[in-house]
Chains A and B, each alone.
Chain A
Amino acid sequence: MGIAPGRRIPQSNERADTVQQLRLRPLRVLVSLAFLALTTALFIDVQGRLPADLRDAVLYLQLVPSLIRFLEGPSWGAAGFLLVLAATLLFGRVYCSSVCPLGTLQDLVAWVAGRRRRNPKAVRYRYARPHSRLHYGILLAALASAVGGSLTLLVLLDPFSLFGRSAALLLQPTVAAGNNLAGRALESWGVYGLAPVSWQWAGAGVLGATAALLLLVLILAVRHGRLFCNTLCPVGALLALGSRLSLFRIRIDQGRCNTCAQCSVVCKAQCIDLKHKRVDFERCVACFDCIPACPESGIRYGIAWARTPDPPAPPPSRRPDGRRRLLLGGALAWTAGLATRGRRSQASPVATDPPRNLKPSTIPVAKTRAVAPPGTGSSARFNATCTACYLCVSACPTQVIQPALLAYGARGLLQPSLDFGAGFCTHACVRCGEVCPTGAIRRLDTEAKKRVRMGQVHFIEDNCVVVTDRTDCGACAEHCPTRAVFMVPYREDPRLTAPELDPEVCVGCGACEYACPVWPHKAIYVDGEEEQGLAEAPRERYPESPVQREPVPDGGADFPF
């Protein structure tokens, strides 16, 4: 946007200052697009090529993840939210228009929708009353429930997590499919350079919930600008509190303003009150769109002590906010409804293959608990620290971390769990802990991770193909990284080997369950545990085996043949 036609050209001593003011908006646009692009890239990095430093830098300033990380263990590495708060005290809600990926996405969608209108010059926005009580109420409720150990409201409304979840569930599969098509095209020309990646759509519940919430945010954005940020977003509410004290503010020059409304028309926060020539700076997202819109250079951003005080805020409307209250009531009731539902016992994993083992297995797997990613501690701790941004889901090399709706019951709405039908947790891999923005999945060094017990192995002997078909298999023991499952001569037929468990060394990685070939019910599976414990180190086990410990060449020759 250039200088509006008919702009009053200021006198020379003001000119330099005006040029500075006009630079604010393009600068903000640039920074916001960079953050949006980089944040998106984190979630669609299907080939795993993004450098770790870049990832950490992008995540550093995300407020809710940084805050959660800091509360668990204060450190400079988790102090990004302090920077954001400090910036807010100085400059207002610059986070909302620059760093927040969901904010920029809203702006982008609203901008595109605006350009597609029949009359792009039509009035986009007008001043709207604040919904302060609703907004601060949500912040209070989110904080209260977080203190109580449930992040449900933050999971739903934290803008970074909602954005990440949307990118991971909707965009990432699309990118992966595109990657695979491109790779296939290259390979048909004999060029094996772009490796295929595995991908799948999330379940209908998770996908539907995320898509519906994203759609709601975007529809609000097209119709009401930053209404989500100023009514539902808990981060917006927190920063609004900070911006009450901001040093730098947007203000209207009472002498220059001729109430032409050009600023108010472009204000996506709908916070410029022309009747009182006042900017409701709590709701201002510091996008600076209003500055170039003013033909009189009469709306400016600067240090607040130099200003003439704003006229007093108009008294809040007493009109009951029926529709919105209904909306909020519904949302709370839904959350409460979730809370009353019991823990979901996971459906037993059923293979989709046709029944090819001679005798189909008969005993269903009965799991009692979800298995959380490695390094989450207790499920209570995980529930209280994971905002379900799904960065781990999109980063996991084996896709064993899968989105889930209620794997941990109502307290863990949308929090991801391990799905051993999709893959298993690679023994030496610590990727999820490296990427987790909140620290819900701890950063572990490889040796520590190898001992974390995520779950516990269980064997259903009567499902095992060695027992039912009397043939060798050993897929479980083959995949087991710790020998928690190992093969011993089968007591009914010593020519065969059958699995035996050593539960103390089991890390619950799920490799055995993933590999178990029997149909339709697995013969070996991993069940979750309330608390992730420490597995014993793998033993020096040399089971009876036809292979001798130190083979000796026969006949004293160089080779035993």
Chain B
Amino acid sequence: MKRRTLLAAAGATLGLVPLGNPIRRTLAEEPMASAETAYDLVAVKNGEPDKLLDAAMEALGGMGRFVRPNQTVVVKPNIAWDVEPERAANTNPLLVRRIVEQCRAAGAKTVYVFDNTCDNWRRSYKTSGIEQAVRDAGGTLVSGENERYYQPVKVGGKRLLEAKEHELILESDVFINVPVLKSHGSATLTVSMKNLMGIIWDRRYWHRNDLHQCIADFAAYRRPDLNVVDAYRAMLHNGPRGVSVRDVTEMRSLLVSTNMVTADAAAARLLGLAPDQVDYIRLAAAQGVGRLDLGNLAVKRIVL
């Protein structure tokens, strides 16, 4: 190994290992700081993923509205699969990179990124391009593939009474949910609410106990501070994993909302669906998690 490579590697390792003992938050279900925003939904199109984000966050008053200096942030993209960015089975790496950069620029002490992947986590992190993106942006990658990270929480839903949730979600000051828009064989769509299946341990429980109701139950319990829906490429068919790039269409779009139901309702529209055609969106809206009547909401539309 060349000296320069070694130094770079050492630097990268140090970058991944923030020193010091952060004051750990208790494991109570305290709601996270939620910023008041001018719009219920910001939709942007016709741009590269990083530019789309810049435009959306500018409309919302900047990342500083959500991330205060010295806070810890957890970013949860979809990194479920060991496939390349072009297949759009995972969140776009450039978008993740830009989010981490914006959080860092807003003064975040640490920006954690993780997912409880479906394929092997190391392979998924690497192949998705997200590992490199997070390293470049100065974020901290954490594994989601070990039960020890997951702490028992009371969800208290209709079918989902309890779950085990990743400690970074419980302990971080800010939670940014970054799903990718995909069709889904059984859930019809996967967007913000479905993406939260990657912050809990036992997904099988959800699958055998009325998947849609469990998704809605958990959405009522855990509300991210910000939801950034990656619709740069959207998987129209054979989701959520897809078999080839032909499952994917380029939309070059992005949705941002503090509310998951609103974000998912708009995402459904992007794929030509009425929001209430998706059971869990309908159930979550009925449980008061958020509104899907987009016509009555403050929506900012930006075309780059």
B20 within 8 A of A: yes
Question: Given A426-B123, A547-B271: A472 and B211 within 8 A (CB)?
Answer: yes
Distance from A425 Cβ to chain B, minimum over Cβ atoms (Å)? 10
A560 within 8 A of B: yes
Question: Given A474-B184, A558-B45: A196 and B146 within 8 A (CB)?
Answer: yes
Q: Bound state CA distance, A358 and B213, in angstroms?
A: 14
B183 within 8 A of A: yes
Would B237 and A545 count as touching, CB distance under 8 A? Answer: yes
B294 within 8 A of A: yes
A-B contact count (CB 8 A): 177
B18 within 8 A of A: yes
Distance from B273 Cβ to chain A, minimum over Cβ atoms (Å)? 6
Render A521-561 as a binary contact track against B, CB cut-off 8 A, 1 for contact.
00000000000000000101111011111111000001111
Q: Bound state CA distance, A198 and B33, in angstroms?
A: 35
Question: Which one of A191, A398, A465, A477 lies within 8 Å of B185 (CB-CB)?
Answer: A477
Distance from B26 Cβ to chain A, minimum over Cβ atoms (Å)? 15
Which residue on chain A has the smallest CB distance to residue B301?
A559
Q: Bound state CA distance, A538 and B238, in angstroms?
A: 11
19 residue pairs of the A-B complex, CB under 8 angstroms, read A190-B20, A190-B24, A193-B17, A196-B149, A353-B204, A357-B208, A357-B209, A397-B120, A429-B123, A472-B279, A474-B185, A475-B186, A477-B186, A515-B118, A517-B204, A517-B208, A540-B244, A545-B183, A561-B266
Distance from B262 Cβ to chain A, minimum over Cβ atoms (Å)? 10
B65 within 8 A of A: no
Question: Given A190-B18, A190-B22, A193-B16: A469 and B185 within 8 A (CB)?
Answer: no
**What DSSP secondary structure best describes chain A's contact surface?**
loop
Would B207 and A475 count as touching, CB distance under 8 A? Answer: yes
Which residue on chain B has the smallest CB distance to residue A496?
B186
Q: Bound state CA distance, A173 and B102, in angstroms?
A: 41
A519 within 8 A of B: yes
B270 CB contacts on chain A under 8 angstroms: 551, 559-560
Which residue on chain A has the smallest CB distance to residue B118?
A479
A398 CB contacts on chain B under 8 angstroms: 120
A497 within 8 A of B: yes
Question: Which one of B120, B143, B184, B211 lies within 8 Å of A429 (CB-CB)?
Answer: B120
Which residue on chain A has the smallest CB distance to residue B109?
A190
Q: Chain A: how many interface residues by the 8 Å CB criterion?
A: 61
| Chain B interface residue number, banded | 35 or more
A465 CB contacts on chain B under 8 angstroms: 207-208
A478 within 8 A of B: yes
Distance from A547 Cβ to chain B, minimum over Cβ atoms (Å)? 5
| Interface residues in B156-205 (C-beta closer than 8 Å to A) | 183-189, 203-205
A427 within 8 A of B: yes
A444 within 8 A of B: no
Q: Bound state CA distance, A547 and B43, in angstroms?
A: 20
Which residue on chain B has the smallest CB distance to residue A471?
B210
Which residue on chain B has the smallest CB distance to residue A465?
B208
Q: Bound state CA distance, A329 and B244, in angstroms?
A: 58
Distance from A119 Cβ to chain B, minimum over Cβ atoms (Å)? 49
